[in-house]
Chain A
């Protein structure tokens, strides 16, 4: 092999292991697991994020405090620690019967979903709060002046604008979530990274397996970026970009 000869490394590349026999099948299973894990966690994280983000702007102190507690508690501990907690620790608090039930219903997967959702929900809520808070108060006043109620103003004006504003940081968060899902292998979830390593241990072809994993993550992430960019274009608010360039703002 010219590349290895050039680098002076004794290594014989065999890329075909990636699509032969059970290994290709494993890789597909890993991709599917990563997508399932990430998509489900993304849904829950978005829900938690919108809820906590909105709660932090409501005019009722106890609810705001609750949301602050949630965000600060969950985003300030490493995700890996949370995964261990949800898998090894949390089920211990359940009664024995519930634990037995959980043990036969894929505790690895659900612990990972909970861990990723709660952690990324906390981070997502900050993105959403930033979106809501970036809208000038005058806009709310103006919409109320047109005869809308405060609730209607939020639903029809404030939130739709906020959601459009947060597309770029929300894309970031979504990409992070997808990549962080690889940590689930530490609690035995057979996702993409797990499967690339599995192929590596069976074939001893580390570079091929890990390169495949790397490229697949790249493709998945580019897919998310492209989708979000499309969403951003479709729901663009005419005139908003121009506003950025205007001197008076």
Chain B
């Protein structure tokens, strides 16, 4: 149901564009004027953005966006309201372009074609695509997909990779993660592919996690970034500085531990190379 609503939102935006634009103002000016900072995030992609048992929208990406929120308040010198909206791979760029949201903080992979439409923050998480299968499935990786029914999420980088690299696979594309996973559970597809870390999230949220296995080597490289409207370097600097400061003073790693630490549902230790990659993105003060 949520899905259709965002579809409607996109259509409304397209129609709205023709009748209601607003004067050119930077994102910082807009946030200062309205007093609201709106982020677009995921609602079914644990642990990056999902609805928890208390019915709250939480996650790793949302915690990072809250750091940006804090920096914004400091920069503008006043209290700003943080609003969270759902964005999916298919809706996030239109939501940004239309000004409905100011920042995408979800599971968006930074890619070169996407940089034609939006600007990205520094990379805040690194993963790669894998496969989720039922225990006992013959699928072990991308080499075993010929003739198999492979579920993927529309608009994701992995969907594109499968389409291009394994044309013999029968790709079935769903608009959201929940539908893709349900299709796997119900046996409509043989495997569901997404970024590895998200598959771990799905496995741990499943009623019976032991039934599911994440398999295969990373067959794509997925650096996650936060996306914003193009050519707005002042706002981008605020976002990047907030992330850099958090990496520098260790707050990032605390948040990382909160969502990916050994005691969580999705233990995912930060590799040494990933850690040094994060640290090297931090430019000097």
Asked if B93 and A88 make an inter-chain contact with CB atoms under 8 angstroms apart, the answer reads: no
Question: Closest CB of chain A to B30's CB: distance in Å?
Answer: 11
Name the one of B93, B97, B155, B182 contacting A9, with C-beta atoms under 8 angstroms. Answer: B97
Asked if B10 and A8 make an inter-chain contact with CB atoms under 8 angstroms apart, the answer reads: no
**CA–CA, A102 to B151, complex, Å?**
16
Closest residue of chain A to B25, judged by CB?
A8
B18-43 to A contact mask, C-beta < 8 Å, 1/0 = 00011111000000000000000000
Residues on the B chain within 8 Å of A194, using CB: 154, 173
Asked if A201 and B89 make an inter-chain contact with CB atoms under 8 angstroms apart, the answer reads: yes
Question: Closest CB of chain B to A82's CB: distance in Å?
Answer: 13
Question: Closest CB of chain A to B13's CB: distance in Å?
Answer: 8
Task: Tell me, yes or no, whether A244 is within 8 Å of chain B by CB.
Answer: no
Within 8 A of B (CB), among A71-109: 80, 87-89, 91-92, 99, 103-104, 107-108
**CA–CA, A185 to B154, complex, Å?**
10
Closest residue of chain B to A92, judged by CB?
B186
Residues on the A chain within 8 Å of B25, using CB: 8
Task: Tell me, yes or no, whether B14 is within 8 Å of chain A by CB.
Answer: yes
Residues on the B chain within 8 Å of A207, using CB: 14, 17, 94, 97
Name the one of A7, A104, A187, A197 contacting B21, with C-beta atoms under 8 angstroms. Answer: A7
Most buried by A among B22, B173, B174: B173
Task: Tell me, yes or no, whether A202 is within 8 Å of chain B by CB.
Answer: yes
**CA–CA, A187 to B179, complex, Å?**
7
Residues on the A chain within 8 Å of B187, using CB: 99, 103
Task: Tell me, yes or no, whether B172 is within 8 Å of chain A by CB.
Answer: yes
The count of residues in chain B whose C-beta lies closer than 8 Å to any C-beta of chain A is 44
Count of inter-chain pairs, beta carbons less than 8 A? 101
Question: Closest CB of chain A to B186's CB: distance in Å?
Answer: 5
Asked if B94 and A206 make an inter-chain contact with CB atoms under 8 angstroms apart, the answer reads: yes
Question: Closest CB of chain B to A100's CB: distance in Å?
Answer: 9
Question: Closest CB of chain A to B34's CB: distance in Å?
Answer: 15
Question: Closest CB of chain B to A98's CB: distance in Å?
Answer: 12
Asked if B113 and A203 make an inter-chain contact with CB atoms under 8 angstroms apart, the answer reads: yes
Residues on the A chain within 8 Å of B231, using CB: 10
**CA–CA, A123 to B118, complex, Å?**
44
Residues on the B chain within 8 Å of A204, using CB: 93, 113-114, 116-118
Task: Tell me, yes or no, whether B175 is within 8 Å of chain A by CB.
Answer: yes
Asked if B182 and A88 make an inter-chain contact with CB atoms under 8 angstroms apart, the answer reads: yes
Closest residue of chain A to B99, judged by CB?
A9
Task: Tell me, yes or no, whether A132 is within 8 Å of chain B by CB.
Answer: no
Residues on the B chain within 8 Å of A190, using CB: 173
Asked if B21 and A185 make an inter-chain contact with CB atoms under 8 angstroms apart, the answer reads: no
Name the one of B97, B117, B154, B183 contacting A198, with C-beta atoms under 8 angstroms. Answer: B154
Task: Tell me, yes or no, whether A210 is within 8 Å of chain B by CB.
Answer: yes
Asked if A103 and B188 make an inter-chain contact with CB atoms under 8 angstroms apart, the answer reads: yes
Asked if A10 and B155 make an inter-chain contact with CB atoms under 8 angstroms apart, the answer reads: no
Residues on the A chain within 8 Å of B89, using CB: 201
Known interface pairs A88-B188, A194-B154, A206-B10. Does A10 touch B17 (Cβ–Cβ under 8 Å)? no
Closest residue of chain B to A14, judged by CB?
B116
Q: Could you list 15 A-B pairs, sorted by A, with CB under 8 Å?
A: A8-B25, A10-B97, A10-B231, A11-B97, A89-B186, A103-B188, A186-B174, A188-B173, A198-B173, A200-B90, A200-B155, A203-B113, A206-B97, A210-B10, A210-B11
Residue numbers of A with Cβ under 8 A of B are 6-11, 80, 87-89, 91-92, 99, 103-104, 107-108, 183, 185-188, 190, 193-194, 197-198, 200-207, 210-211, 214
